[in-house]
Each structure stands twice: as C-alpha cells, then as structure tokens.
Structure 1
Amino acid sequence: MKLSDRQEEIIKLVKEGQPVTSEALAEKLGVTRAALRADLAILTMIGILDARPKVGYVYSDKPKSSMLFDYINDIKVSEIMSKPSIISENTMVYDAIVYLFLNDVGTVFVENNGFLVGAVSRKDFLKISIGGTDIHKVPVGIIMTRMPNIICGNSEDSAYEMAKKIIEHEIDSIPIVETLKLDGEKDQYKIIGKVSKTNITRLFVKMGKSE
C-alpha cells in the first residue's frame, strides 16, 4: 500500500514526539482535526499507529502490510454489498420517509428511468420536515443530492476502499453501480447494490469470529 505524503509526515511526527494527540498533529501540519480523521483512521487500521485513549498516537512498529489490511484489501465489494433501497425521483417526500423507516436505512438512492440520479438521507428528510413544507406535495427530486455529486463504487473495488470513502466523505452508504456507455449520451449508472457502515461493521465482526 502506498501512503500519501501527509500520512508519511504524520508517521514521522509521531515517531519524533510520541505520544502525540490529534490536536497537536493538526497544529503541526496546519490543518484541522477533521481533515486528519481519515488519515489517522487508515494508519491505525493498517497497524502503523496505535491510538491510546487520553494519551494520543504512538508508532506501533508493525509492518505496513499488516494482516488486517491484507485481509480487508483482498475482499471485494461484491462479497459484502447488500440490496439497495431505491425510489423514483417523483416519489413524494412523505412516502419516501415512510419507505426509509420501513426499510430501516439511513440513505435512499433515487432513480430515473432505471438509472441513478441522486441520493437522499435522513438529514435531508429532517431538514425539510422541520421547515414547515408540505411533504405530501414535494418530490424527493427537489431535496436530493444529485449526480455527479454522489460517491459511488463498483463491485471490483476492495472493502478497504469503501471503508476509506465512507470515512473521508462522512457518509453512511455508497451505491455500487455498473457504468453503461450509451451511444451519443453521457455515462449512465445502474445501481446493483450498496455498501454501508453496517456492511463494514459486519465484516469486522466476521473477522473477529474467525480469529
């Protein structure tokens, strides 16, 4: 695995001054703690750093290609993805909210003519519900996040890549798509599954049971 320049710099700073808190690392690198969250999560997951509560980060002196990283990087999205929750962009917000809770999901993906056009989350529904709008008369197409602003994956991506995207973009679910190239038109995306925080958590539980 090739680390980014910032990840290499984090390792260097931790080696020189361990234990080091995330606040101290952010200050030294001139970024926010939030900006470092993904890098620290990755370095901890693959065994380079250890996170010690109320102390900070220390260098674990483990090989970069830890067994954990090798395991999760070898697992393909097709092995862990689940069935996506999909509605039409003409679905009224009220009906979409009912659908979301009946399916117990955090994000619903939106299609038009069988292709992905957007996504709508619990936060989106909450915002419009407390705003006094008649949710029986507003379609989800009005409030959804539209393509190309949707973070997607494909069935051949690794579970590690999906976990990384979920952390970096602070989202709870990623649509897994097939890209269709139609003559004379821009690429279209057909949803074939999803990977959510729950899918990743189940993978870690499975890993724990196999130990």
Structure 2
Amino acid sequence: NKALESGSSLAIPGARCSFVEHVGNLWEAKEEVKVHAVGSDLSLGVGVALDCVKYAGRPDFEPNSAAVGDILKQDSDQVKGTIWHLVTKEKSSYKLYKKPEPFVLNVQRAFKKLAEEIEKEGIEELAMSYLCSGSDRMNRVWVMNQLYSELKDLNVTVHFYNKVQSKRWLGCGQLFAASGTSVNVNVPPDQDIPEVAPKKTVSPSLN
C-alpha cells in the first residue's frame, strides 16, 4: 500500500484542514488537546476510553449530565494536556446495529459540535482516536469522511493515533485513494504497519 509508505500528512485539495495518521498511543501524543468519544453515562469501560482512565484517572463529571455533542474537558498532567471527552451517545452500551438512524444522527451532531468548538477555541492542532470506529464498529472511512465534511473549512491539523498491537486498519488512504492523493503514516522506526484486514464494521447508509 503506497499510501502507507510516504510519511507526510494528508492535505486534501481545496480544504484547509489536514489529517496525519500515527501508529502510537493517543494518551502519549505530543498534541495538547486529545479527543475521544464517550457515552453520556461516562462508563469508560473499554478501548480508548478505558486507556484514558488508566492514564489520567476518571474525570470528575456527573454521569448523564451532558448531552450528545457536549464536550467535557479534563486537564491532565499525566497526558500533558487537556482531554476532550466528546459525547456521541446517551449510553455507552448503545450500538449502531440496534438503532442505526438515531446512532448515526447523534454522531453527526457530535462531530458538528466538535468542529464548532475547535473553531471557537482557535485550535490549530489536536490529537484524536478514530472516533466511534473502535468498539462502536462504525466504518472508519465513513467516520473520517464525516469529520472531513465538518473540518474542511478550518485551519486545523488532526493527528489520528492507532496502536500497532490493535491491528486495526488506517483510514485516510481508503478515504481518498480514488482521488490519487498520497497519504502518509508516521511509524516509529522499530515498528511495522500491521498488514491485517479490518474487523467487520457497519457502513451507515445516511449521508
């Protein structure tokens, strides 16, 4: 996959935003603002959210006090920055395949609010997980396409982090391969990109 070998960021023609993919741990990222997705109940029991608790401790927010699209901000010396807990659903147990339409609409609403907050705060660089495409199993290409739609007019660089050992596929190359755009991934010199097929995901039919 040539898209995974070149080593620079993805700059989309006609857009002000750019995406960079890293093999590494989100909670060890150098970018000050780090974003991940949570349920309003703040269960934080699996995946990136569980890692967040292990690194930074449980956030001091009341469960179920935030609505979809709200961002709960947690300053953390442990991760050397501010964690943005982006609420994408009411309960952590909600899954896409059970009620696809409200799930998708909530994710779209949350991404729109995220873009508004990035613009409001004047954020030019931030790190994030591949939102909603881990335990939620949303199609990663769809997720990144939605993020691009919301961020394309903002002067922001988004750094996506993915652990090598999770063996999950990287999304930028898939998203823009048809246009011939080159995508690069920053990989530690002692690491290899895993050549592993992705687990089955769900591709929302809503635009």
TM-score (norm 2): 0.21
Over alpha carbons, which structure has the higher Rg?
A: 1
Greater share of helix: 1
Bigger relative contact order (CA 8 A; separation at least 6): 2
